[in-house]
Structure 1
Amino acid sequence: MSLLPEKNTLVARTTSADGSLVALIFYGRSYLNRIISPSSSTVRHQYVLTQGEKRLFVSGSAARQAVGNLEKVSAPVGPSDILLTLTAYNPPKTWARTLSLFLPLLMWFSAAAIGWFVVNRLLIRPLVLLRRAVAAYQPGVPLKPLEKVRTPAQEITDLGETFRAISEDVATHEVEMSESLVRQRKLTREVHHRVKNNLQIIASLINLHSRSAVTPDAADAYASIQRRVDALSVVHRNHFAEMEENRGVGIRALVSELAAGLRASGTDGGARLAIQIDSADLHVSQDIAVPVAFLVTELVELAMLCDPAATIRITVHLKDDEPGRAQISVASLALSTTPVLQSRLEGRFDRVLTGLSRQLRAPLRRDEEEGIFCIDIPIMD
């Protein structure tokens, strides 16, 4: 294989196996350029075949006049001394070329920035404003309109308007409930005053009828009925007084007022009746206060009937062994076992006391020698 630069030709020679035939193959420059040069390359390059001092420029002769960095790569052609040399022109670095290299990255950052700006204006910022408005919401106060944003998403705007409409409805309902509560309180006070007045009217009627009683037994019966009406009235007054604070009925005030009423209704105006009170500051529900008031009234009346000059002690204390319960006791020598007491108990008192203890869901204990009746009652915290 040899070069013919003056003919722009590459000659390849081959012989047959027995050496009787010789074949020559001529490769022109245009053919070599066609099979060597890449079809998609945009870089200026040059191919040169070299054999000793002989040189055949196959393609890219313009690269010889190019200004810039040149890079060369050589490789042998077959089992011959011919070398194929590729000379590529590497243009110098410029700002335009550097910018073209970073242009895809710059475009990616630009797209990300534009996307973030659009998402921030359409979604993130309106959602942040909506979250702040909802977090600052106070019950009963309508939400303020959201801050004006030029390009919020319509769905977020609708959501903010929905929240604001809900807050306005809640505020309206709060006002209506407040007005209803005021009306309910007025109605409750009116009912209380009517019940109190009705009880006072009943007590007055009983008192008028007792004055016209012709026998002592009838007068005693009227007085007994009046004591029970007074006891119910006392419970009602104390319950309403404590109702505003939802504390229940104060047992100390209840027993004290009951004692004053019972002392005044006794024989000779209660001048000789002594009632001592030792009560802790406890509260009970109205369901407990009513039977307690009637129980105390029955026991004090029983003692008064047995001994009009009796000394009675009413005690209310917490139970150490049972949290949430207290013990109320009525003690008097007039309540100790005597024939008079037994005869009274065998009548209506035993039935009434048993019924009241069932309402309190506790047994009524009795110390016959000391004259003590006691029962356990639940209290409020």
Structure 2
Amino acid sequence: MAEKPEIQGSRQDSGQSSGQSSGARRSLSFQLAVALTLALLPIGILAAVLAADGIRSAREAELVRAENQFRATARVVDDLLSVDFLVLRALLRNESGLHEGRTCNAEAANALDDAETFDAIVWADGLGRPICESRGGIKPSAAELTRLAAESEREYLIWPGGDHVFFAVREEPETGKPGLVVATASVSRLKARLREIAAMEGAATVWLGDKPILGNPPDDTAAPGGLLTVRRLAESGGRDQVVAAGPLSIAPFALTTVVPATRLAVADVLAIAAPSLMWIAALLIGWMVVRRFVVRPLQNMASGVRAYGAGDNLVRLSGRAGQTDEMQAFAETFDAMAQDMAEARQEVDAALTEQRRLTREVHHRVKNNLQIIASLISIQAREADGAEVARAYASIQMRVGALSIVHRWLYEESDTQGVDFTALTHDLCASLQQIIPTAKLVEPRINTHLERLHISQDAAVPLAFLITEVIAFAARLAATQGRGKMVIDIHVRRTESGGELQICSDAFGEDDPLAPTETRAAARIVNGMVRQLRGHLNFDADVPCYTVGFPLKSRAG
């Protein structure tokens, strides 16, 4: 019983140390999240990179498709214009027909029927001087013919900036013979000729210089420059387009093609987000699984262990929901241990109960035997011849009676409170008040002023002997002084350090008759009892009183 506070203190210390050490650890859920993160994050990053690379490859494929569409459309436009130049080239090489009676009008009519584009045709020599021209249409001026003849290219097109263009084909013929053929075509006829590209995939815009003559270009799109460019545009309506723009082989024609871009579909978004979503789902599922099948059962088991440690001996861990085989095995082991400890505790409690019963029986028998001895001494004292013999018998009877009363209260001791020192003092005083007159000493009157205190068995015997010896000694002193009566006041009070006993009587006088230096039997007995109490006997001559401190019974809990 005395070791229980130390055990509790060790448990508190271990709890504090475990709490401090647990601060450096992390929960199982957190450790699982870290483990899953380290395990799944590289896979998720790799899958996201692969998905993003696939989408990037699809985007690049769209750019290639747009470029191929541009080249196919440009090839169609170039083929249409090449046919017209082929007609003019044939006219230039067949200028001999002009000298065989065929007129320019006849040749022009044939050429216009073949080309379906021209409004008029002009033949000129290598210096640009007109030789023959067809009727109708807008024709180039002499200055324009001269400039066209001076060009280094054999086939080219010039756009004066109005609503018509000039197709020119030149060679290096002999002097005076036609070396240049120039055909005039209106922009409207060019548009009609180029409309067949509208049936191709996507949308196309044909530029003449910086002016679109066919189709509608995307918003904020200028005429193409000198290089082919392919780019992705985000339209305001939410649909992306891939625009390819560049010049045609016959300047100043240019072409812009627009191909609808494939929008980032839900599947693409999921392909990119799937690794992250799977990672998060794996974390959540793993966390929930661990919480459900590991953490929560462990917490329940921990609460059961704490309840068992707090004194609930009926706690059992096995059979609880959510336990795994390993936890069930641990719980069964704990329950078996708890059952063994419960049985052992029952055996100990039964043994303690039997020991208390036997101890009380011993105290009861000792008390009865001491009472018998005290009665025998009292009977023998009545037959004593002299006063000294009667006083000797009375002293023995008082001491035996004190032991009998102590054993009575030891028999009545409560495990939680100890010996009732107040009741013990009352019984002692009542017994002394009956025995002292039989010793032919004085008539004592004992006044008690007692607080309710409890003491241990170790303090009960010396305190009982001390009270008996001091009162008996005071009675002998009073008888020696020739008094017939004596008044004794006994005070028992609680102090900060324990309890305090004070016995006062005017029979003590001014000197300390019970000082440690005294050799009389009463002094030796009283000081021996004080040493057992590990106290100090103080004498106050002014009252006069003897005062001694004593320990109290420690309270349970």
Q: TM-score range by the shorter chain?
A: 0.5 to 0.7
Match of 1:186 among 344, 349, 357: 357
Report if the CA contact (8 A) 1:239-1:249 is conserved. Answer: no
Distance change in 2, residues 1:130/1:110 (3 Å): same
Report if the CA contact (8 A) 1:232-1:290 is conserved. Answer: yes
Report if the CA contact (8 A) 1:133-1:144 is conserved. Answer: yes
* Deviations, residues 232-276 of structure 1 (Å, cap 9, x unaligned): 2222323443433324442x3233212221222233488961322
TM norm structure 1: 0.65
> Which residue in 2 is equivalent to 1:316?
491
> Which residue in 2 is equivalent to 1:14?
none
Cα shift at 1:42 = 4.5
Match of 1:243 among 394, 411, 414: 414
CA distance in 2, matches of 1:208, 1:135: 68
Cα shift at 1:83 = 6.9
CA distance in 1, matches of 2:241, 2:500: 110
Cα shift at 1:128 = 1.1
Cα shift at 1:328 = 0.7
Report if the CA contact (8 A) 2:391-2:440 is conserved. Answer: no
Report if the CA contact (8 A) 2:489-2:504 is conserved. Answer: yes
Residue pairs, 1:280-295, within 5 angstroms: 280-283=450-453, 284-295=455-466
Provide the secondary structure at the position in 2 that maps to 1:315: strand
Match of 1:90 among 261, 278, 283: 261
Report if the CA contact (8 A) 2:405-2:424 is conserved. Answer: yes
Larger Rg: 2
Cα shift at 1:39 = 12
> Which residue in 2 is equivalent to 1:259?
429
Query: Is 1:222 matched up with 2:393?
Result: yes
| Higher RCO structure, 1 or 2 (CA under 8 Å, sep 6+) | 2
CA distance in 1, matches of 2:242, 2:508: 130
* Deviations, residues 25-60 of structure 1 (Å, cap 9, x unaligned): xxxxxxxxxxxxx9996544414185996269xxxx
Report how many aligned residue pairs link the two structures.
324
Cα shift at 1:141 = 0.8
Report if the CA contact (8 A) 1:196-1:237 is conserved. Answer: yes
Name structure 2 gaps, 5 residues minimum: 1-56, 81-196, 204-238
Provide the secondary structure at the position in 2 that maps to 1:265: helix
CA distance in 1, matches of 2:474, 2:58: 130
* Deviations, residues 106-160 of structure 1 (Å, cap 9, x unaligned): 46535643664455345534431342354254520132534444xx654444444
Cα shift at 1:299 = 2.9
CA distance in 1, matches of 2:442, 2:202: 139
CA distance in 2, matches of 1:84, 1:179: 109
CA distance in 1, matches of 2:487, 2:263: 122
> Which residue in 2 is equivalent to 1:277?
447
Letter paired with 2:299: R
Residue pairs, 1:102-251, within 5 angstroms: 102-106=270-274, 108-109=276-277, 112-113=280-281, 116-117=284-285, 120-121=288-289, 124-135=292-303, 137-138=307-308, 139-149=312-322, 153-207=324-378, 209-210=380-381, 213=384, 216-250=387-421
Letter paired with 2:471: V
> Which residue in 2 is equivalent to 1:363?
537
Report if the CA contact (8 A) 1:48-1:84 is conserved. Answer: no
Query: Is 1:299 matched up with 2:473?
Result: no
Cα shift at 1:214 = 5.8
Q: Give the aligned CA root-mean-square deviation in angstroms.
A: 4.5
CA distance in 1, matches of 2:487, 2:529: 20
Letter paired with 1:311: M
TM norm structure 2: 0.47
Identity of aligned residues (%): 26
Query: Is 1:326 matched up with 2:500?
Result: yes
